[in-house]
Amino acid sequence: KKEVTPAVSTTILHSVNRNVISEQKVQDRQLSEQADSLAARNAELNRQLQELICQI
């Protein structure tokens, strides 16, 4: 029985795919952190705005 080895191009594509997935995970984490930060800042600004409205 002859052992089948993947073509070099297939191996390269798998490697590139793993790298892309890894980079996407990093970007996903960064975007999630930024979204959390924006949500917290938005809540603080809304609180300040509500306080200002109550003073008027």
- For each of the chain's 56 residues, which pLDDT tens digit applies? 667 777 889 999 999 999 999 999 999 999 999 999 999 999 999 999 999 999 99
Q: What are phi and psi of 6, to 5 degrees?
A: -70, 150
Q: What is the pLDDT of residue 31?
A: 99
Q: Report DSSP state, residue 4.
A: P
Please tell me the pTM assigned to this model. 0.70
Sign of the CA dihedral with 30 first, then 43, 41, and 46 last: positive
| C-alpha span between 29 and 18 (Å, rounded) | 17
